[in-house]
């Protein structure tokens, strides 16, 4: 994997405007890992994918993360400051198959990947999406005596146990921030999605950079390519010269 250039980031921003986030994350990985076939990147577990995106975010904007959260009890706004290392989880197991025995059922399954997520993302009800995602990741279900049974006969407690083990095996896929409200002392867990976060940052960054291109192009008549080829320090210097 290699860092993304300014050109690549701008191109990914343009492509991201018309893509669901799960597809956009794959475009980012493909741009950063040109030597790896796209199908292979799409089969990375979601935690593995997010671990790569976290590294790219660190290379692009540094290790410090800042975001806002609202207390669900009193609506107090909290500014959160943390580092990429604080949300870096252990990688998932190398093996692509996992096994769980629960309540007399033996379930063989794998971790969800980008192919699964893009296949189930849509206008369906979130519970239905979750069920479809789960079914895609089931490889085989047996009763204790070894008889293979249909996946849809799995009782809910077994489904929950498998989902819990999936999350535990791929912790980077489900990052939760433990937050305390300074106002009402409420404690809660807030999910943190690195793909959505990185996209929002690139979106803000692209608007700023293109605005700078506009100012310099209007003032000096330089091309977009010439302006983007300037080092950030030179670009800042010329911007200071033309800003009123």
x/- mask, Zn ion, residues 181-210, rule CB under 5 A, reads x-xx-x------------------------
To Zn ion, the closest distance from the beta carbon of 179 in angstroms equals 9
Closest CA to 138 of 169, 107, 167, 163: 107
154 — alpha (psi -120 to 50), left (phi > 0) or beta? beta
Please tell me the distance from the alpha carbon of residue 30 to that of residue 232, in angstroms, as a whole number: 26
Considering beta carbons, is residue 68 or 150 the nearer one to Zn ion? 68
Please tell me the distance from the alpha carbon of residue 119 to that of residue 171, in angstroms, as a whole number: 22
To Zn ion, the closest distance from the beta carbon of 176 in angstroms equals 18
Considering beta carbons, is residue 34 or 182 the nearer one to Zn ion? 182
Spacing of C-alpha 28 from chain mean position: 11
x/- mask, Zn ion, residues 213-242, rule CB under 5 A, reads ------------------------------
Please tell me the distance from the alpha carbon of residue 236 to that of residue 23, in angstroms, as a whole number: 34
Q: Per the structure block, which two tokens stand in for 30?
A: 């493909």
Helix axes 126-137, 156-169, angle to 10 degrees: 80
Considering beta carbons, is residue 69 or 151 the nearer one to Zn ion? 69
To Zn ion, the closest distance from the beta carbon of 229 in angstroms equals 48
To Zn ion, the closest distance from the beta carbon of 67 in angstroms equals 17
Please tell me the distance from the alpha carbon of residue 21 to that of residue 202, in angstroms, as a whole number: 13
Considering beta carbons, is residue 143 or 183 the nearer one to Zn ion? 183
The interface with Zn ion within residues 60-89 (CB under 5 A) comprises 71, 73-74, 76
x/- mask, Zn ion, residues 140-169, rule CB under 5 A, reads ------------------------------
Please tell me the distance from the alpha carbon of residue 235 to that of residue 212, in angstroms, as a whole number: 8
Which residues make up the interface to Zn ion (CB under 5 A)? 71, 73-74, 76, 181, 183-184, 186
């Amino acid at each position: 994997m290699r860092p993304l250039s300014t050109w690549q980031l701008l191109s990914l921003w343009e492509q991201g405007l018309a893509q669901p986030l799960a597809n956009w994350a794959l475009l980012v990985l493909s741009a950063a890992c040109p030597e790896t076939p796209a199908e292979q990147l799409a089969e990375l577990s979601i935690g593995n994918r997010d671990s790569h995106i976290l590294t790219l975010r660190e290379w692009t904007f540094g290790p410090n993360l800042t975001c806002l959260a609202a207390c669900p009890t009193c609506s107090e706004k909290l500014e959160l400051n943390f580092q990429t290392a604080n949300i870096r989880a252990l990688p998932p197991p190398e093996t692509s198959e996992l096994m769980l025995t629960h309540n007399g059922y033996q379930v063989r399954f794998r971790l969800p990947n980008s192919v699964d997520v893009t296949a189930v993302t849509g206008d369906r009800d979130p519970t239905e999406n979750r069920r479809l995602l789960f079914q895609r990741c089931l490889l085989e279900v047996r009763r204790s005596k070894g008889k293979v049974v249909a996946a849809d006969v799995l009782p809910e407690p077994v489904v929950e146990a498998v989902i819990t083990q999936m999350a535990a095996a791929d912790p980077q896929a489900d990052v939760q921030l433990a937050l305390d409200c300074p106002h009402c002392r409420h404690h809660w867990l807030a999910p943190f999605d690195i793909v959505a976060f990185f996209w929002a940052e690139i979106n803000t960054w692209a608007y700023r950079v293109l605005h700078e291109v506009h100012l310099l192009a209007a003032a000096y008549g330089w091309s977009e390519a010439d302006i983007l080829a300037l080092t950030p320090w030179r670009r800042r210097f010329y911007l200071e010269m033309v800003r009123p």
